[in-house]
Chain A
Amino acid sequence: MCVQEKVIQVLVNILQVSPDKISTKTTSDDIEKWDSLNHINMIQALEQEFGIRYDQEQMVSMLSVEEIIEATKEILGL
């Protein structure tokens, strides 16, 4: 499974939205449940899924699917 698919799967789970509501263009403003609490859950779920750890700067900037994928790929060296 590629990074994008996995990221979307985690978001679907945490934010409880259907997969067709999420694309690379989606941002936190588009989804009601993407609040600060779920942001923490989402980051940790992604970390568990990929076996990585985001730094502080990434953590606060990961407010769109595109940025999440970018940060994740950067750590994974992809």
Chain B
Amino acid sequence: MNLSLTEIQEALKQPPNSKLQSYRIVVLRNITVESILPYLQYYAFRSGLEAAVSVGNYDNILQDCHGGLGADNKPIITSDTDSILIFFKLEVFSWPLARDFLSLNPEQRESEFERVLDYVELTLQAIRKQSSAVVLWHGLELPVYKSLGIMEDQLSDSQTSTLKRLEVQMKGILSRHTNVFYVDLSDCITQIGINSFYDNRFWYYSAAPYSLDALNVIAEKDFKYINALNGKNKKCLVLDCDNILWGGIIGEDGIDGIKLSKHGTGGGFYDFQQELVNLHSRGVVLALCSKNNEKDVWEVFDMHPEMLLKREHIAAYEINWEDKAGNIKKISESLGLGLDSVVFIDDSPFETDMVREILPQVEVILVDPKQSFDYRQVIGSTGYFDSLQYSTVDRQRTKMYQAESGRRRLQNNSDCIDEFLTKLGMEVTVKFADEKSIHRIAQLTQRTNQFNLTTKRYSDADIKKFVDNDTCDVLYLSLKDKYGDAGIVGAVILQSSGNTAVIDTFLLSCRVIGRGVENAFLSCAIKAARLRKVEIVQGKYIPTSKNQQVSGFYSRCGFDEELRLNIMDSSVDAPAYFLSVIFD
């Protein structure tokens, strides 16, 4: 479904659903790539951003990183730059390595090889001197026509092998810098085919190697990175059942009549279920929303021999005859996930239209059961759930959300909130960050949107810097209750100087909001500040579209109008309904 340039431009003329946030992109390049502009603007627009794109000078990547000036006579990279896209084409940088490989002797090959790596390193160092922006380095393209033909496949020192080795080393350099990511263009080439990707006419005419279709898929991929880093990736997939998980209607066709099998006409559904299980392993939360008799649906789950999806993969469900918009809302509330992190998939245009209409924040996918063989591709190609983190916590996420769903049910029946919270038997532990917790803390800063006072996104390396910094304290909070161990669900970063400790970051996973955990956490943060012998704790609140609920957090806790608390004469206490609050 590749949109043409005309369609993209029409789409950009539509008024946005909500106010767009400005997002500054710098494109550095050694090729002509200006035509990517409308595509970047389009995908930004779809992510609620208004892209301001400035393109660096032709074949001036390194100079532009060293304060090079743009057409407006101002530096191309500034401290406001949000992301930097680098298009570094080997043909331009090293013609011998890219096109005249066979004439190089081994020494020459190595020296060209090193020259490329040095350039990458110098470029990144120069960027980091003036900006902490996200850097997306677009990957090396392997030769379309191999220099030795089929013989190339046999050799370990061929051009292809050499360039693959170069790619590995480049990735190594990129990974040693913070917030720098490798965008593998070979996916984009595979997606649309090599003949659609390159257009040699424009390569010879104006050093523009990529077709418009190519630039479209590249921009789309870039925004998968940008969305993941902005915490815009989706977290929950809500599934219809009939004609989505299996072919046919369970209430009519019965368990022996529905289509679901590894081979044959049920193959698309089987493969789709495998993809769902994979998504579950990646930490995506799965939920069911189906108009059915609940008993019939669970019968398929329990009894059908080819069901890959099991009850334990499902974090929440609404199986009834009520409207799906209302049901999806209930699901999102029961899981404590915002509607804008939900994707809904159904085969009925009625249902998808209704959900689009009533819940515009929800991303809706309509599929056609006659083309169930494409279901897997439909979900795989969206990138909705793409994230730049993958850890064991992801794999356990459903269990936590299942426990959460149970908790919420109890809460609705609980007359007295304190009594309910006491019954939970919550045990809070707050500790100083160590090597083992750094990754999870960074992940929390990237994912957490609602209970996040400053919404600063940090990488593992950033957190490590805070931990190693003598004037900073990084604290994390873990929570246990009668439903299970929620693991690390909160983080605080304190920066102390003179008589003041500034709370740079204060966040809690949305899974534990609404239980007074924040007060317990703040009480521990203040204890940590006391160890620093400071007198004042300075809070900070940076409003975003999602963190309104915490705008009054510090004042509720007794901080003054400037969000300061004098800890010499006041304090914050943990609520009494916690079984224990341990700080060590």
For residue A49, CB closer than 8 A to chain B, the reply is yes
For residue B206, CB closer than 8 A to chain A, the reply is yes
Q: CB-defined interface of B200-213 with A at 8 Å, one 1/0 digit per residue?
A: 01100110100110
B32–A48 touching, CB < 8 Å? no
Q: Which of A13, A14, A36, A44 contacts B206 (CB 8 A)?
A: A36
Shortest Cβ distance from B7 into A: residue: A48
Q: CB-defined interface of A35-64 with B at 8 Å, one 1/0 digit per residue?
A: 011001100110011000000100110000
Q: Which residues of A contact B202 (CB under 8 A)?
A: 40
Q: Which residues of A contact B32 (CB under 8 A)?
A: 37, 40
Q: Which of B170-198 contact A (CB under 8 A)?
A: none
Q: Which residues of A contact B34 (CB under 8 A)?
A: 37
Shortest Cβ distance from A59 into B: residue: B201
For residue B348, CB closer than 8 A to chain A, the reply is no
For residue A71, CB closer than 8 A to chain B, the reply is no
B35–A37 touching, CB < 8 Å? yes
A56 and B202 CA atoms in complex are apart in Å by 9
For residue A3, CB closer than 8 A to chain B, the reply is no
B205–A44 touching, CB < 8 Å? no
A45 and B5 CA atoms in complex are apart in Å by 6
Q: Which residues of A contact B211 (CB under 8 A)?
A: 44
Shortest Cβ distance from A48 into B: residue: B4
A14–B208 touching, CB < 8 Å? no
For residue B21, CB closer than 8 A to chain A, the reply is no
Lowest 10 A-B CB distances belong to which pairs? Answer: A48-B4, A45-B5, A44-B212, A13-B9, A37-B34, A40-B202, A41-B35, A13-B6, A45-B6, A36-B206
Q: Which of A37, A45, A56 contacts B4 (CB 8 A)?
A: A45
For residue A10, CB closer than 8 A to chain B, the reply is yes
A60 and B202 CA atoms in complex are apart in Å by 11
Q: Give the total number of A-B pairs whose CB atoms are below 8 A apart.
A: 41
A37 and B33 CA atoms in complex are apart in Å by 9
B6–A60 touching, CB < 8 Å? no
A56–B6 touching, CB < 8 Å? no
B212–A60 touching, CB < 8 Å? no
B201–A56 touching, CB < 8 Å? yes
Given pairs A44-B211, A49-B6, 7 additional interface contacts (CB within 8 A)? A14-B9, A37-B34, A37-B206, A40-B35, A44-B199, A56-B205, A59-B201
A48–B6 touching, CB < 8 Å? yes
A45 and B213 CA atoms in complex are apart in Å by 10
B4–A49 touching, CB < 8 Å? yes
Q: Which residues of A contact B5 (CB under 8 A)?
A: 13-14, 41, 44-45, 48
A–B pairs, 15, beta carbons within 8 Å: A13-B5, A13-B9, A37-B32, A40-B35, A40-B202, A40-B208, A41-B5, A44-B5, A44-B35, A44-B199, A45-B212, A48-B5, A48-B6, A48-B212, A56-B201
Q: Which residues of B contact A37 (CB under 8 A)?
A: 32, 34-35, 206
A59–B205 touching, CB < 8 Å? yes
Q: Which of B1-55 contact A (CB under 8 A)?
A: 4-6, 9, 32, 34-35
Q: How far is the CB of A21 from chain B (nearest CB, A)?
A: 17
Q: How far is the CB of A25 from chain B (nearest CB, A)?
A: 23
Q: Which residues of B contact A40 (CB under 8 A)?
A: 32, 35, 202, 205-206, 208
A13 and B9 CA atoms in complex are apart in Å by 7
Q: CB-defined interface of A1-43 with B at 8 Å, one 1/0 digit per residue?
A: 0000000011001100000000000000000000011001100
